[in-house]
Amino acid sequence: MSETDALDSVVSQPYKYGFKTEVEYDDFPRGLNEDIIRMISQRKGEPDFMLEFRLKAYRNWLTMKEPTWPNVDYPPVDYNNIIYYSAPKKKPKLDSLDEVDPAILETYEKLGIPLHEQKLLQNVAVDAVFDSVSVATTFRAKLAEAGVIFCSISEAVKDYPDLIKKYIGSVVPANDNYFAALNSAVFTDGSFCYIPKGVACPMELSTYFRINNEESGQFERTLIVAEEGASVSYLEGCTAPMFSKNQLHAAVVELVALDNAEIKYSTVQNWYSGDKNGVGGIYNFVTKRGICRGVNSKISWTQVETGSAITWKYPSVILQGDNSIGEFYSVAVTNDKMQADTGTKMIHLGKNTRSTIISKGISAGQSNNSYRGLVKIGKKADGARNYSVCDSMLIGDQCGAHTFPYIESANSTASIEHEATTSKIGEDQIFYLQQRGLDEENAVSLIINGFVKEVFKELPMEFAVEATKLLSIKLEGSVG
């Protein structure tokens, strides 16, 4: 078998999560207008302030234009041909899994996320979001003992309106960008985490997103607030069935860290990426941003992006508090016709703020993988420091890797360091390892695992295992 064949099969494993679950849906009519938004808000029993927030966002959105600057290419999305609310008919009772449609429970089980009480993941609380609604949140009672709130955002809007009112849109304003405005208007579900003062969250929190309905978009909203001295590690996972149509996923995630608080947010994104010819797959247009509002606070994003037809996301940190720390660790894998334009923004406002960016892009097939990052140092950010490394690895010669680093500094005491490398997974590297006795498949997998190691070591244990597995799923059975 030739080198290129092996490399191709190494990164072209079939998508394992592509099955569809048969459930009955309560769908809204297609299209977007104020009536639809009122219906969503009403269906969720939201207080007035939430409806107003949505309507204002919608009106803003109408005046905005879809961004064209990302290095991605796709036919225009018909926003009036999407179903904006789609919920499985059988609704769960709060705190009980008994009434969740067994087909859905089975779905999560197949995905490796058991929601049954007996089989719960060790020390990980899970919020499971199925299309537009959260179907279950585990370990709530145990978390409540510690004072931690972990529930769906829909419940939070009703049960903790003051917290929501205070924080929603405070990091990503409703008019921030086209997709954030759209999300603010129509968001359906997502997770809310609140860690009170001085509490170290006793377990990992995680949300598992699943798009099942072919015609619906998913617009989830996540809000995490860590009060003074609080800390939490949060994990996000996503998959979708294989459909020949493209589906839109436009999420907003907001993180708020107060004095001495720490939030670690990890994502393993494995949405369906379309077939070999680029038919189908998820458009993943996501706005993720955190603010280190307090002194000595820290926000760390780790992402492993292996799916989606198109990825457009820049998990960012606003470093407002003095001595605060922002981190971004990313592995983005593209293959076939996938396109990714991803990176981060580190906005240094406070004194002695520090940020680290480690980005690893792997492109194969005819895919396109771009890193886009902004490091901005404000006038008052004396002693701010940034360190960025962007490495790209190319597999084959039909793919592209690009880096777009932007630096804006208004403070001469700041130090900014940027390194970038592009390498081809070398015939010579593979030959070297094969010469030592490793077969080609092992050689390639060793090289790729070595390449991403710096990022994978940032993942929490539970996720590191999953991410490594995901990578090796993509690698398995390549020689034959």
Partner 1 sequence: MLQIKNLHASVDGIEILKGINLEIKAGEVHAIMGPNGSGKSTLSKVVAGHPAYEVTQGEILFEGTDIAELDADERARMGIFLAFQYPVEIPGVSNSMLMRQAYNAIRREHGEEELDPLEFDDYVHKKLDLVEMDPKFLDRSVNDGFSGGEKKRNEILQMAVLNPKLALLDETDSGLDIDALRIVSNGINQIKSSDKGVMLVTHYQRILNYITPDYVHVLKAGRIVKSGGKELALELESQGYEEVEEIR
Backbone region of residue 403 per phi and psi (left: phi > 0; alpha: psi in -120 to 50; beta: other values): beta
d(CA 60, CA 382) in angstroms, rounded, equals 36
Q: Which stretch binds partner 1 (CB under 8 A): 189-197, 211-219, 306-314, 433-441?
A: 433-441
Give the one residue of 356, 422, 449, 468 binding partner 1; rule: CB under 8 A: 449
* Cα 472 to Cα 180, 441, 469, distances in angstroms: 34, 10, 5
d(CA 249, CA 277) in angstroms, rounded, equals 21
Does position 389 bind partner 1 by CB under 8 A? no
Q: Which stretch binds partner 1 (CB under 8 A): 202-210, 323-331, 332-340, 444-452?
A: 444-452
Does position 436 bind partner 1 by CB under 8 A? yes
Does position 419 bind partner 1 by CB under 8 A? no
Does position 331 bind partner 1 by CB under 8 A? no
Does position 329 bind partner 1 by CB under 8 A? no
Q: Which stretch binds partner 1 (CB under 8 A): 39-47, 242-250, 361-369, 427-435?
A: 427-435
CA 212 from centre of chain: 18
Q: In what order do the strands lie in the sheet with 298-305?
A: 133-137, 124-130, 204-210, 231-239, 262-269, 298-305, 325-334, 354-363, 385-394, 415-424
In this complex, which beta carbon is closest to partner 1, that of residue 126 or of residue 447? 447
Give the one residue of 73, 95, 408, 439 binding partner 1; rule: CB under 8 A: 439
In this complex, which beta carbon is closest to partner 1, that of residue 76 or of residue 437? 437
Considering only residues 3 to 22 of the shown chain, the ones binding partner 1 according to CB under 8 A are 3
Give the one residue of 203, 433, 467, 471 binding partner 1; rule: CB under 8 A: 433
Least distance to partner 1, CB of residue 448, Å: 9
Q: Which stretch binds partner 1 (CB under 8 A): 189-197, 275-283, 341-349, 432-440?
A: 432-440
Going along 246-395, which residue ranges are E strands? 246-249, 252-257, 262-269, 281-292, 298-305, 310-313, 316-319, 325-334, 339-348, 354-363, 368-377, 385-394
Give the one residue of 48, 141, 162, 437 binding partner 1; rule: CB under 8 A: 437
Give the one residue of 446, 460, 462, 473 binding partner 1; rule: CB under 8 A: 446
340 within 8 A of 313, measured Cβ to Cβ = no
Least distance to partner 1, CB of residue 431, Å: 5
Give the one residue of 71, 175, 434, 472 binding partner 1; rule: CB under 8 A: 434
Residues 6+ apart with CB under 8 A from 262: 226, 230, 231, 232, 297, 298, 299, 300
Query: Taking CA 138 as the corner, what is the angle to CA 292 and CA 247, rounded to the nearest 5 degrees?
Result: 70
Give the one residue of 28, 130, 451, 463 binding partner 1; rule: CB under 8 A: 451
- Helices 3-11, 440-456: axis angle to 10 degrees equals 50
Of 126, 125, 162, 136, the residue nearest 49 (C-alpha): 162
Tokens of 237: 């996972």
The continuous run of DSSP H or E covering 180 comes out as helix 178-186
Q: Which stretch binds partner 1 (CB under 8 A): 11-19, 151-159, 294-302, 446-454?
A: 446-454
Tokens of 368: 């396109």
Least distance to partner 1, CB of residue 2, Å: 7
Give the one residue of 48, 145, 162, 428 binding partner 1; rule: CB under 8 A: 428
Tokens of 296: 């000595």
Give the one residue of 78, 435, 461, 480 binding partner 1; rule: CB under 8 A: 435
Give the one residue of 443, 444, 459, 467 binding partner 1; rule: CB under 8 A: 443
Tokens of 54: 């949505």
d(CA 305, CA 309) in angstroms, rounded, equals 11
For the chain, how big is the Rg over CA atoms in Å? 22
d(CA 262, CA 416) in angstroms, rounded, equals 23
Residue 87: strand pairing partners = 26
In this complex, which beta carbon is closest to partner 1, that of residue 72 or of residue 394? 394
Does position 450 bind partner 1 by CB under 8 A? yes
Q: Which stretch binds partner 1 (CB under 8 A): 21-29, 51-59, 114-122, 436-444?
A: 436-444
Does position 397 bind partner 1 by CB under 8 A? no
Does position 174 bind partner 1 by CB under 8 A? no
Give the one residue of 442, 460, 472, 476 binding partner 1; rule: CB under 8 A: 442
In this complex, which beta carbon is closest to partner 1, that of residue 42 or of residue 423? 423
Residue found by looking up tokens 């907003």 in the block: 252
Q: Which stretch binds partner 1 (CB under 8 A): 37-45, 95-103, 293-301, 448-456?
A: 448-456
Q: Note the maximum CA span of the chain.
A: 68
In this complex, which beta carbon is closest to partner 1, that of residue 422 or of residue 434? 434
Q: How many residues bind partner 1 (CB under 8 A)?
A: 26
In this complex, which beta carbon is closest to partner 1, that of residue 6 or of residue 148? 6
Does position 422 bind partner 1 by CB under 8 A? no
Does position 26 bind partner 1 by CB under 8 A? no
Residues that bind partner 1 (CB under 8 A): 2-3, 426-429, 431-440, 442-443, 446-447, 449-454
